[in-house]
């Protein structure tokens, strides 16, 4: 799929009334639609997403949710029509769909209903390994990333209403960007792209997200072993606590002139 074709699927044209002039003219909005995930011919999940890079999205989702540990665990993955992706696992790999989807729903419910963060983080920590200690990223590198990401946000440029996740190397060089109506979907698309590349190492990369950081974004980055997570917006308290617990570098309110470092903190 070319960049132009992908952009066409990401956006749609609708008519709007401009107020207070009352002029009716076309506007461009981000597309949102359902994607059905089939595993071994059986329905597994339906997620709302922005069309495009669907195979990357499903690959990243299966990896970040703990369904697979490596790309070789997937023997085949293909798009069926415009709104379905079918997955087959390698021999010996099985999927406890009820357990995976129950845990997935539980984590997202916790963010909305105020469940004790300590209980949720303890559950997550069972499957997350601490990060290897790394030197804080240079401020000049961090402050250069928002501009680099913004240049690559083609769908956002048209709509103003779509999230992005961008991956950089530790020197601040751009690697890949994906956009989606869902913040976590954009992250899954980036992770899925990385898994599809031969011998791609995530241990020396920076993940930048366009909005805020919730704990589910930290969890996905941690599973992928991405050591540095940054955002244009703010992190939640649970996201900071989880990052501190595993030693992940976390930065928020990133701009070309400033940022906040949340983790690791210097204990005084």
Which pLDDT belongs to residue 29?
A: 93
pLDDT digits (tens, 9 = 90+) for 92-122: 887 765 555 554 544 444 433 333 444 555 6
pTM flag (> 0.85): yes
Q: How far is 5 from 145, CA to CA, in rounded Å?
A: 26
Contact in structure between 250 and 229 (CB atoms under 8 Å): yes
Paired strand residues for 15: 26
Instruction: Please return the burial class of 27, using the count of CB atoms within 10 Å of its CB with bins 0-12, 13-18 and 19+.
Output: middle
Domains delineated in the chain: 139-263 (3.40.140.10)
Which stretches of the chain drop beneath a pLDDT of 70?
A: 1-8, 96-127, 266-268
- For the chain, where are the alpha helices, taking DSSP H only? 3-10, 54-64, 97-113, 117-125, 139-152, 154-159, 183-196, 215-223, 237-246
Known catalytic residues are 113
- The Cβ of residue 73 has, within 10 Å, a number of other Cβ atoms equal to 15
């Amino acid at each position: 799929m070319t960049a132009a074709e992908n952009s066409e699927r990401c956006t749609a044209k609708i008519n709007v009334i401009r107020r207070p002039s009352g002029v009716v003219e076309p506007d461009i909005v981000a597309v949102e639609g359902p994607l059905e995930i089939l595993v071994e011919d059986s329905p597994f999940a339906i997620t709302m997403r922005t069309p495009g890079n669907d195979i990357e999205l499903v690959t990243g989702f299966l990896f970040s949710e703990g369904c697979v540990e490596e790309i070789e665990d997937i023997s085949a993955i293909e798009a069926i029509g415009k709104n379905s992706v079918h997955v087959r696992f390698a021999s010996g790999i099985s999927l406890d769909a009820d357990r995976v989807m129950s845990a997935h729903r539980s984590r997202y419910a916790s963010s909305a209903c105020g469940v004790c963060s300590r209980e949720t983080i303890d559950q997550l920590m069972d499957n997350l390994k601490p990060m290897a200690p790394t030197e804080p990223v240079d401020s000049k590198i961090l402050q250069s990333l928002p501009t680099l990401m913004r240049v690559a946000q083609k769908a956002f440029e048209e709509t103003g209403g779509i999230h992005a996740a961008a991956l950089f190397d530790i020197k601040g060089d751009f690697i890949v960007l994906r956009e989606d109506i869902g913040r976590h979907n954009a992250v899954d698309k980036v992770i899925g792209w990385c898994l599809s590349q031969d011998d791609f190492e995530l241990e020396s990369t920076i993940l930048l997200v366009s909005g805020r950081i919730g704990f589910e974004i930290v969890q996905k980055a941690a599973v992928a072993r991405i050591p540095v997570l940054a955002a244009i917006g703010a992190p939640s308290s649970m996201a900071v606590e989880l990052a501190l617990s595993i030693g992940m570098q976390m930065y928020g309110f990133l701009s070309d002139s400033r940022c906040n470092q949340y983790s690791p903190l210097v204990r005084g």
